[in-house]
Amino acid sequence: MSNPLVDMQKPDVIFCIGTNMTECHPVAATGLKKAVARGAKLIVADPRRIGLAEMSDLYLPLRVGSDTALLLGMAHVIAREGLIDDAFIKDRTTGFDAFFEHISQWTPEWAETITGVPAKDIETAAMWYGSVDKSAIYYTLGITEHICGVENVQSLCNLALMTGNIGREGTGINPMRGQNNIQGAGDSGALPNNYPGFQSVTDPEHQAKFRTEYGTEVDLEKGITKVTALELCGDSIHAMLIDGENTLLSDPDREHCEHALRSLEHLVVIDIFLTETAELADVVLPATAWGETDGVCANTERRVQRLRAAVPPPGEAKSDWWIICQIAQHLGFKGFDFETPIPIFNELCRVSPIYAGLDWDRIEKSEYQWPVPHKEHPGTPRLHEETFVNGRGIFSNVHYRDPAETIDEEFPVWLTTGRRLQSYHTRTQTGRAEGIDYLLPEESLEVNPVDIEKWKLADGEWCKMSSARGSITIKVKATNRSPRGTVFASFSFADVPVNVLTGSGYDPVTHTAELKVCPVRLDPL
């Protein structure tokens, strides 16, 4: 997030796109509800009539995968109506003239033909977003889990840059992160393109630094993403070490994924349960869980916080860091002789400029949001206040692209996937918490009541849902949350493995899977 969570209460206009915040980030949504209660206008763009849509002032029910078109149409209106921030564009950005020309062709009427959202509503959204002092954008995986995830994010950046809605209180471009330390995992350098602290692996200066730091040679080119690695399993990838991820259920195209992991010569999984993924491993190593581990995590607003152990682990379970150290030491690797997590975190701080002002003791009270470049620095709740990291904000002349697969006669229905309030990911945790079943005992497919009749399905009955990759059976639930022609299911339940169906394509840059769009066919059982 460019802005801190407390800023959620401050915008004049809030634009939520591809985020089901009241279910997936409920506590963040409380800030947004307070803003709305105070009088802020809420624009919600989402294919489904989610909780946020119900409380919005303007709801844009776009067709799945058409976000770029919607955002181009909005940019067109903002430019046409003269709602641009000339001073900000002049002082802080580059490439506006070309962008201005680029968007002249993408009218809201054109966007309506792609998105299905009435042109007048696209105009209203643009006018609202562009005409107030403080507009803020919030998004989640509904923006990124597309083959055009990069273009979607760039389109949002275009809106913020052309209206000067970045670098100030109550504005910004704010992605909500989905796991309690997914931000920290990236910060720590568990990425094929970055060393710790987002230092590019292709920058000679960073290469030299880590050559000295780690005392080894490291490849001068980027590594491959996990998506590519899974594709290469059995071909050029032959061993994997997976920590705390149920790849088999969370990644798209389950059959492909299972085949990939089975074709490895050596798979080691560190986890707290024998997950579907761990069941395929050669060695399974029992880790301490949350509540049993001392460590550090970073939240969606870049706040670096302490995790503290409250109870001892069961049996012989050990901390993830200890396990990795032990494997490394058994292989004779240097630099893994740690006795506690404290020097590990302090080493991360030492090698990462964004954490340079931090250490284990300084984060005791959760006060710091990175970057914290030195010990006297107070942290950075709001990014891009004075300058952008790369100097100037760059306008991107993006084009709309269709999803990897589009509906046709064989697969005439759009399936989109996501999470639900009461379950989390693949339910390794919530599925084992007493009481949660009372609220959400099973998965069901959300279908518009009119479609149920048209497709000869029945509310509460099972149906067969098929895509180009496979089929599953799932119970049908009638709801107006789903628009005509689009259905929704979560990926949480192992007995309804929706990832058998998904996996039509990936963003070519980030390799993020298009989990939000999958053409399917529904047949009564």
Which residues inside 159-218 make contact with other proteins, applying CB under 8 A? Answer: 176-193, 195-196, 201, 210, 214-218
CB of 23 to other proteins, least distance (A): 9
Considering only 75-83, 155-163, 322-330, 517-525, which stretch makes contact with other proteins by CB under 8 A?
Answer: 322-330
Please say whether the beta carbons of 21 and 29 come within 8 A: yes
CB of 494 to other proteins, least distance (A): 13
Told to check if 450 binds other proteins by CB under 8 A, we report no
Residues 391, 191: Cα–Cα separation, whole Å: 24
Name, in order, each residue with C-beta under 8 angstroms of 323's C-beta and a sequence gap of 6 or more. Answer: 270, 285, 287
**Closest listed residue to residue 36, CA positions, set 15, 9, 54:** 9
Which residues, numbered 495-514, are part of the site for other proteins (CB under 8 A)? Answer: 510-513
- Contacting residue, 515, 517, 518, 520, with other proteins by CB under 8 A: 515
3-state helix, strand, coil in the chain (%, to 5): 35, 20, 50
Which residues, numbered 225-264, are part of the site for other proteins (CB under 8 A)? Answer: 225-227, 229, 236-245, 247, 250-252
Question: Closer to other proteins at the Cβ: 77 or 440?
Answer: 440
Told to check if 494 binds other proteins by CB under 8 A, we report no
Which SS3 state, helix, strand or coil, does residue 22 take?
Answer: helix
CB of 170 to other proteins, least distance (A): 17
Please say whether the beta carbons of 187 and 354 come within 8 A: yes
Told to check if 272 binds other proteins by CB under 8 A, we report yes
Question: Closer to other proteins at the Cβ: 135 or 423?
Answer: 423
Total residues interacting with other proteins, rule: CB under 8 A: 150
Considering only 94-102, 405-413, 423-431, 482-490, which stretch makes contact with other proteins by CB under 8 A?
Answer: 423-431
CB of 195 to other proteins, least distance (A): 8
Report the interhelical angle of 149-163 vs 119-131 (nearest 10°).
50
Which residues, numbered 11-30, are part of the site for other proteins (CB under 8 A)? Answer: 22, 24-30
CB of 299 to other proteins, least distance (A): 3
The angle formed by the CA atoms of residues 14, 302 and 354, to the nearest 5 degrees, is 135
Q: Which helix (H) or strand (E) holds 281?
A: none
Residues 168, 383: Cα–Cα separation, whole Å: 9
Which residues, numbered 51-90, are part of the site for other proteins (CB under 8 A)? Answer: 55
Interstrand relation of 444-447 and 173-175 (parallel, antiparallel or unpaired)? unpaired
Residue 211, token pair as written in the block: 């050559």
Question: Closer to other proteins at the Cβ: 30 or 380?
Answer: 30
- Contacting residue, 174, 422, 444, 467, with other proteins by CB under 8 A: 422
DSSP 248-297: HHHSS-HHHHHHHHHT-SEEEEEESS--TTGGG-SEEEEBP-TTS--EEE
Question: Closer to other proteins at the Cβ: 58 or 229?
Answer: 229
Considering only 56-64, 105-113, 318-326, 464-472, which stretch makes contact with other proteins by CB under 8 A?
Answer: 318-326
CB of 80 to other proteins, least distance (A): 35
Amino acid 196 reads P
Told to check if 49 binds other proteins by CB under 8 A, we report no
Question: Closer to other proteins at the Cβ: 114 or 260?
Answer: 260
Question: Closer to other proteins at the Cβ: 291 or 391?
Answer: 291
Residues 36, 523: Cα–Cα separation, whole Å: 41
Which residues, numbered 108-147, are part of the site for other proteins (CB under 8 A)? Answer: 145
Whole-angstrom CA distances from 193 to 115, 175, 398 are: 34, 20, 23
Question: Closer to other proteins at the Cβ: 98 or 509?
Answer: 509
CB of 31 to other proteins, least distance (A): 9
Residues 200, 184: Cα–Cα separation, whole Å: 17
Question: Closer to other proteins at the Cβ: 48 or 303?
Answer: 303
Question: Closer to other proteins at the Cβ: 26 or 524?
Answer: 26
Question: Closer to other proteins at the Cβ: 32 or 72?
Answer: 32
- 398, HSE (Cβ side, Cα atoms, 13 Å): 27
Which residues, numbered 275-314, are part of the site for other proteins (CB under 8 A)? Answer: 278-279, 281-287, 289-301, 303, 305-312, 314
CB of 165 to other proteins, least distance (A): 22
Give buried/exposed letters for 337-348 (b at 16+ CB in 10 A, else e). ebeebeebbeeb
Told to check if 456 binds other proteins by CB under 8 A, we report no
Told to check if 221 binds other proteins by CB under 8 A, we report yes
Residue 152, token pair as written in the block: 């979607």
- Contacting residue, 56, 93, 163, 430, with other proteins by CB under 8 A: 430
Tokens 């399917």 identify what position? 520
Told to check if 219 binds other proteins by CB under 8 A, we report yes
Is the bond preceding 371 in cis, omega lying within 30 degrees of 0? yes
**Residue 427's Cα: distance from chain center in Å?**
18
Please say whether the beta carbons of 517 and 405 come within 8 A: yes
Told to check if 331 binds other proteins by CB under 8 A, we report yes
Tokens 């070309």 identify what position? 98
Which SS3 state, helix, strand or coil, does residue 104 take?
Answer: coil
CB of 231 to other proteins, least distance (A): 11
DSSP 286-315: EBP-TTS--EEEE-TT-BEEEE---SPPST
Told to check if 458 binds other proteins by CB under 8 A, we report no
Told to check if 462 binds other proteins by CB under 8 A, we report no
Question: Closer to other proteins at the Cβ: 61 or 244?
Answer: 244
Which residues, numbered 344-363, are part of the site for other proteins (CB under 8 A)? Answer: 344-345, 347-348
Please say whether the beta carbons of 418 and 454 come within 8 A: no
Please say whether the beta carbons of 465 and 501 come within 8 A: yes
